[in-house]
Amino acid sequence: MKADLLRKKFLEYFKSKEHRIVESDSLVPADDPTVLFTPAGMNQFKGEFLGHLTGFARAATSQRCLRTDDLDKVGKTSCHHTFFEMLGNFSFGDYFKEDAIAFAWEFLTKELKIQEGRLWVSVYKDDEEAYKIWKDKVKVPENRIIKLGDKENFWPSEAKQKGPNGPCGPCSEIFYDLGSLAGCAKPGCDPTCSCGRFPEVWNLVFTQYNRKEGGTLEPLPNKNIDTGMGLERLAAVIQGVSNNFETDLFQPLIKEIIRESGNDKNKEYIYAVADHLRAVTFAIYDGVMPSNEGRGYVIRKIIRKGVLHLRALGVANPFLYKLVAVLADMMQEPYPELKDRQEDIAGVILNEEKNFINILDSSGALIKEKFSGIPLSGDSTKIGEIIFQLYDTYGIPTEITRDNLKKQGFKNLEATVQVVNRKLEEQKERSKQQSAMKGDVFSAKGLDIKVKDSKFIGYKESSVETQILAILKYGEEVNVVLDQTPFYAESGGQVGDTGKLINGKNIFEVLDTQKINNVILHVGKISSGSFKKGDKVVAKINIERRLNIARNHTATHILQAALRKVLGEHVQQQGSLVAEEKFRFDFTHSKGLSKEETLRVEEVANSYISGSQAVNCKEMVLKEAKKAGALAFFEEKYAEIVRVVSIGDISKELCAGTHLDNISKIGLIKIISEGSVASGIRRIEGATSSFAEQFIKDEREKALEETRKKDKLKESKDEERKRSLEVNNSLKDIIPRLINKGIKINGVNVVSSLEADLDMSSLRLLADKVKEELKQGVVVLGSQDNKQKRLYLVIAVTQDLLSRGLDAQALIRQVAPIIGGSGGGRKDFAQAGGNNPEKFPEAFALLKKIIQDKA
């Protein structure tokens, strides 16, 4: 039986048991800072587990999950993966142990026809209730029921002793016996043995306690069921293989890797490559782009591990990206959208492969650079830390670095192994903490709000008379909950509404609107009077602000349609911000837009607007909406019933935001900027209507100002050239006069003169020209620039006099203080400024005396 059919049978079975079939959540869980990636099926139901039901008390999913805490085991064992699908059924205060056990047993033995004699179960050592259900109701023989302790059969593991506080409970696991010849083949082997004979198939968690500080366990008023069964492990059992990688979930990938590499021996690397390709493909599918931090760092690291494994198999060129198309074909039934996005995802992976291969090819130069200046017998701790840094930052394997260092002559490299291993363990622990559920797994601000769900009427109404249900305070923040409200709460990239709550002269300023679960919070402050629970108020939004936001939100839909038309249908929204004055739109595209492409996108978007198409919004079943071609935003978690926003044949998207009724009211879309957010993700910022017009006006004024500045600069340069020409002409007349004024001091020609109203540039030029005429001698010129109100002094010495000790730089330092200044320069030319014009004669006299003494 193929995995697709297994998945389908599981969901159909639980649908027949009155479970709501909920789509898999993204690998990037929304509004959940406790995990880096979605690690289990229960994550998207945290609110429901705490009693915040949203229309169903039973659910079942096939959840895509990503964990990295066992990354180094992938490929080495038969059942460890980074990416996997977890089949799960959940009860939120509805059925409990007896039904959960009965459902599991019936599905495995009746629906899948697994032999009962092949199945073993475990229960928590103190859970007599579960033990009796298995023994007396299900009739599992006692010799196939084992009791395990807090580490193996309590969730979270060892929570009673170590925490965290919060919901917890015993587990019951179901194991499949591969047979007496599997694993260690020892008599008496059972699921407590780690030999691999008894793979765990299904884990049933009975959440029945609330752990309090000190380890006290209180019974929960509403007991929950949380189960998880790995599709990969189940497929191995049903398909009669002992290794998950031998199932149809991996075999097409593995065959392609073997075909490319010509290597079918190194199964460890082959399996790891297949696993890693699944992980990075679905991570990018869910919007995680490779980068140097957070989730992106994890995905970059997994890609680089895949490249290294391929190199070990003999594949030196980029190849991982080619497997995306194979995976898209394999996963077409559960994830049809993957086929549409395979080229874009492959492009991101290809770019990463190329970059890493370049790093590996140039690793010698990089290693040399990082270890330059470090002694060959240097501190092993420091060397080990750099080896780890090269691995952690660039992905260069530690063995490659050590081999390189050995060739360079570095000593004591064996001692660095311990340092690197310690750093790797620290990193592994960080990874576990990031990818596993944290102590505050069920905590979130506002989850304890005990009020009914808010009724949002803001699609049609901007003002309504309503009642205050609750007033909540978080520090200085005041939140008001209303019975019904026209205020749109921030979500889907759209900012929350602002406005007022009015009760006569009592006014509450709503500065923001947020939502926790289905409770809408009006965040703000009392500007006059007072309010209390039960008060009747008029809730009134800032309608002009809402209209501007609606323009920008509808504009993002138009923009996405234009981008897909100009750049291609690989364009997918990756994020947005819809505010009053502007919008921001992030989308998938491998390179920056040219000026021509940007103008074309803008042109297409505005041509759509000129068509005056109506905007239609209607509710549909999620699957039907997707079948109809409605685009979905990757990060958004959609309910069973969704709102579809359609604009003629231009755009159709799932969207809960507020919109215009006709796109002509956008007026104008102006792209303000376009740039990169991350690898493969671009960002456009834009404005609409009067904000777009103001931007265009400001740009025009800026351009005019730039033109004026350029014209003014040109005029200034023309004036400067004209003045320079005039100065040059006037200097021609001065030179003969100065030469005639020259005197000889001990055989040295000396020209000194105080000239009227010359700037430093003119004075330097004049000194150079006189020096050229003299051939041999010293030129000393001073001037008072009346325009700049500055004094200038220059000294020029011909080259032949330098050997006789006449140094212009030394001369200027000696005489500049006399005119109240300082100066410097070269031996053949120096200059100074000053502020004491009447001292020029004294400075000239001193210079002549120094020349006489030197010459």
> What is the reported pLDDT for 445?
46
Residues β-bridged to residue 211? 166, 217
Task: Give the percent of the chain with pLDDT over 70.
Answer: 96
Domains of the chain as residue ranges with CATH: 3-243 (3.30.930.10), 250-361 (no CATH), 370-436 (no CATH), 455-541 (2.40.30.130), 546-695 (3.30.980.10), 742-854 (3.10.310.40)
Quote the DSSP letter at residue 820.
T
Collapsing DSSP to helix, strand or coil, 598 comes out as helix
pLDDT tens per residue across span 794-818: 999 999 888 888 899 999 999 999 9
Task: Using the predicted structure, report yes or no on whether residue 439 has a pLDDT greater than 70.
Answer: no
- What would the mean pLDDT of 420-424 be, rounded to a whole number? 86
Q: Strand (E) positions, 429-572? A: 455-456, 463-474, 477-482, 484-485, 499-503, 506-516, 519-528, 536-541
For the cut 70, the answer to whether the pLDDT of residue 691 exceeds it is yes
Instruction: For 144-199, write each residue's pLDDT tens digit.
Output: 999 999 999 998 888 888 888 878 899 999 999 999 888 888 988 999 998 989 99
**Dist. CA 33–CA 11, nearest whole Å:** 29
Q: What is the pLDDT of residue 595?
A: 94
Percentage of the chain modeled with pLDDT above 90:
59
DSSP helix, strand, coil percent of the chain (3-state; round to 5): 45, 25, 30
Question: So what's the pLDDT on residue 440?
Answer: 41
Dist CA 235 CA 816 (whole Å): 93
- pLDDT, one tens digit per residue, over 344-397 is 899 889 999 998 999 888 888 888 888 888 888 878 888 989 989 888 888 888
Q: What's the chain's Rg over C-alpha atoms?
A: 39
How many distinct helices (H) and strands (E) make up the chain? 23, 30
Residue 466 CA to residue 48 CA, distance in Å, equals 27
What's the whole-number average pLDDT of the chain? 90
Threshold 0.75, pTM exceeds: no
Quickly state the pLDDT bin for 431 (edges 50, 70, 90).
Answer: low
Cα four-point dihedral sign 689, 693, 698, 699: positive
Indicate the range of 171-175, 275-279, 533-537, 834-838 predicted with least confidence: 834-838
> 636 pLDDT band (50/70/90 cuts)?
low
| Predicted confidence (pLDDT) at residue 31 exceeds the cutoff of 70 | no
Return d(Cα 302, Cα 656) in angstroms, integer. 35
